A and B are shown apart, each in its own frame.
Chain A
């Protein structure tokens, strides 16, 4: 057994005859038995990386192994070691939950009796027994993700790829899925998780890398990244955007990061939120500046991006409502 469940070395992958460099020299070492996060906005190369590691795409150059097997030369062996689930919950809508899992079990070459038994077992494990005989078309978003994940686990793979598993889910379903993923990791499964939510990476990942335009721009533990970034965003709302620009100078020095100005709102990413917020109010009050609002919040991936790259993560909000069809065109 190898020490690393996934190793990738200098992976490059281009699309449209080289015009789009989806991955531009990405290397990863994912230790066995932990959740490894790939964090980045739409188009950063996360999904392309997963597809290469899952043997769906081949890299232009570079090499990678999963569970000790080469993704190009031993693709079939890799497929026996992996499960793949994700954002688009690729279940067959015309089949029932039971039929979906049983189909994947049969395609994993289990005999009929084992396939049936495994399907019932997984449906129970994912609280889908009541819906087992309904077509997946009738499932809610959360149920579809659970079914998708159940199908990925059919052959008890040691390595699991989760491509934005909670994008577009409601908070409760997201919470449920997080608990399921934590339960899986406790059994020794290695998970490569892609996400655009810092909160998700923070909750689940032991280590993570941040991808931007096909390159790794930061790596470490969630805590180290957040420490580097600042733990709280202080959002000060002025009367209007003119006032925001005029009075920025009064509070500019409270953060070492670049302040983000969005209309009348000035955002400062800092380590000690409440203290900075108090200082902001004190200074603006002393100067006689009217503050329309003040809020503290956790930094989002947007904030991470702004700080790491100096540019905003484009198409960022749009991704959760995007149709699979447009996604495909966008990523080719």
Chain B
């Protein structure tokens, strides 16, 4: 029945199995809770329509149509917004005592956070597909080619995976899910709106440009946009990857440590 073998290989196999079990559990929640599905799918589509048809006419994008400028940005914005769900979900698990149950099981210690972030990754892949399709429907014409599109997707997914770990830490540090939500909003608004996601940074006041141009979310948006459209994007891809790696090596251990102490 339950295995007791402890060879490194079997441990690794079971750790992978635990991560998969937890990821599956978290994805089920997205399917089962209608509001979660709205948050994941409907909201980004609303943003696309809102900016494409309501605000977009007032915004001039340099060297391309606004819809081409917008869609790569929305992709990055959606994954950052989506990570809020990670913070709330973990805070809820903690609050309801589920984490406590997991900690009393002979499962891999990293599976709760590993499964959660993997589930996020799966959700982000879904978002990527949906936004790409909707984007094409509203006039998005990326000209960088298929390979560049896949590169851009990789950058976006890796960046958002690392962001998930930061939000996992917030979820574990918050005393309850309401606080987790309250803690994330003052963070996600400046990093997504004071960025190059929706508007060219040049239109912002000088002091804000300094922040908006250099912060990681803008770099990610620049990179994804440049790759998808086949336009010059400087070092933004390398800078994005550097930010993402930095986040991963600092926030993943922090979140893991927090998890060990939680409950």
Residues of A within 8 A of B (CB): 51, 54-56, 76, 79-80, 82, 84, 86, 88, 90, 92-95, 99, 103-104, 106-110, 114, 118, 135, 151, 155-156, 324-325, 328-329
Contact = CB atoms under 8 A, between A and B. Distances in A.
Interface in B1-30: 1-4, 14, 17-18, 21, 25, 28-29
Contacts of B97: 86, 88, 90, 324
B95 interface: yes
Contacts of B21: 103, 106-107
Interface residues of B, number: 29
B96 A88 contact: yes
Nearest to A329: B175
B107 interface: yes
B105 A79 contact: yes
B98 A94 contact: no
Given A99-B28, A108-B105, A328 B18 contact: no
B106 interface: yes
Contacts of B104: 54-56, 79, 82, 84
Nearest to A77: B106
B2 A110 contact: yes
B143 interface: no
A215 B98 CA distance: 28
A324 B25 contact: no
A79 B2 CA distance: 12
A158 to B, nearest CB: 12
A275 B29 CA distance: 61
21 contacts: A56-B263, A80-B4, A82-B104, A84-B101, A84-B104, A88-B97, A90-B96, A90-B98, A90-B100, A92-B29, A103-B25, A107-B102, A107-B105, A107-B107, A108-B105, A109-B14, A109-B17, A109-B106, A110-B2, A114-B1, A325-B176
A106 B3 CA distance: 11
Nearest to B36: A94
Interface string B133-168: 000000000000000000000000000000000000
A109 B3 contact: yes
B258 to A, nearest CB: 15
A309 B108 CA distance: 44
Contacts of A107: 18, 21, 102, 105-107, 111
Contact of B100 (A51, A79, A99, A108): A51
Contacts of B18: 106-107
B16 to A, nearest CB: 12
Given A88-B97, A90-B96, A80 B106 contact: yes
